[in-house]
Amino acid sequence: MRIAIVCPYAWGRPGGVQTHIRSLATALRKRDHEVLVIAPRGGSGGREAGVALVGRSVPVPANGSVAALSFGPGGATGVRRVLGDFRPDVLHLHEPLIPSLSLMTLLTSDIPAVGTFHAAAPRSAGYGIARPILARAARKLRVRTAVSDAARELVARYLPGEYVLTPNGIDVGAYSDSAPAELGPGRKILFLGRIERRKGLEVLVQAMTRLRDTESDVELIVAGDGPEAGAARALASRLMVSARFLGRVDDGRKAALFARADAYCAPALGGESFGIVLIEAMAAGAPVVCSDLPGFHAVAVGAAVLVTPGDPGLLADGLRRVVSDASLADRMKRAGARTASAFDWPRLVGNVEAVYDRAVKEPSHA
């Protein structure tokens, strides 16, 4: 099958949707499908095989973060040209109703389309305001899917209907086979992600001040970049927290950091739809301590220590349990490995293929 996957966000910027699309495309190619990813330009990185970059991206505040979206005639023209050359059997549009390439493609193409929804939040002002217009656009989707119950609940609140669950996945072997990074002696707590307020790094830095009474030194390792990176560095310095900021890291380095970590911490404050990074950490053997958020539940319940978001004291208590109790850490590693195996793409990709087959056979709803 010839499959065009459309990403609404700049391909060169880190993000969960980009990670999902990249790993899905790889899994589909291994099943002998022809796959082309179409995404906006923006961020770092150059040309990539199997990826067509069209239109320029513009940073737009969204869901407590900043999304690099593409809209306007340049993107629309680029998508039409690429689709005309590739001639896909099916379109897979991610976040198909936000104002970027996915929505433009949905509105201007008659190719059978699958729409996958990722965002999770208590409510969406955009969906609420534009619901009449978006409902008409959504009718063009042959099949709607969501990556988690939390994502499904958000979009279904405004646009009721059937949403097939198609979870995020990873290449488990790429993480489980990784050698640990060399970070020196002592216990390491890892934060890895975009450094913005909703990711909660400030709360983790505050929690680290309460871990000075542990049996050995505990160092915070921060991998990633973002608008709050400078503030996080300054806070760590002011509170005299032992912290090492590595900046943005590539996938190989990421896996090695997970493999070395005594605990991976995801102290997010909200806006998480799934938590694919939790699966990556578990696959690499890192015990996970994370915020108790609906978007994390599918992955974290039974395999991680969950704590109330935004509370440095409770976060410190959870981290102390993991780094001070070797038997607990070992049990968490085993539980994490079992959880990660359930999200290995070879197990999941067949469900996505079934959705594509259904979309091709379904009559148009528009």
* 356/245 Cα distance (integer angstroms): 42
Low-confidence ranges of the chain (pLDDT < 50): none
Check if the beta carbon of residue 42 is closer than 8 Å to that of residue 55.
no
Token digits of residue 12: 């060169």
Average pLDDT, the chain: 91
Biggest distance spanned by C-alpha atoms of the chain: 64
pLDDT in tens, 57-81: 776 665 556 666 677 667 788 899 9
In contact, 176 and 207? CB cutoff 8 Å: no
pLDDT of residue 43: 67
Cα 9 from Cα 69, distance rounded (Å): 5
Element spanning 307, H or E? strand 305-307
What is the per-residue DSSP string for 135-149?
A: HHHHTT-SEEEESSH
pLDDT digits (tens, 9 = 90+) for 304-340: 999 999 999 999 999 999 999 999 999 999 999 999 9
Confidence (pLDDT) at 364: 75
pLDDT at residue number 233:
97
Structure tokens at 324: 């001070």
Paired tokens of 303: 């395999």
- Residue ranges of domains in the chain, CATH in brackets: 2-169+344-361 (3.40.50.2000), 172-342 (3.40.50.2000)
Rounded Cα gap, residues 303 and 176, in angstroms? 16
So what's the pLDDT on residue 63?
57
Question: Is there a contact between 94 and 11 (Cβ–Cβ < 8 Å)?
Answer: no
Task: Determine the pLDDT at residue 21.
Answer: 94
Q: Dig out the tokens for 14 from the structure.
A: 């880190």
Q: How much is the pLDDT for 298?
A: 80
**Residue where the block lists tokens 């958020």:** 293
pLDDT of residue 66: 61
Q: Are 170 and 143 in contact (CB under 8 A)?
A: no
Long-range CB contacts for residues 232-235, cutoff 8 Å, separation at least 24:
232/195, 232/201, 232/202, 232/205, 235/202, 235/205, 235/206
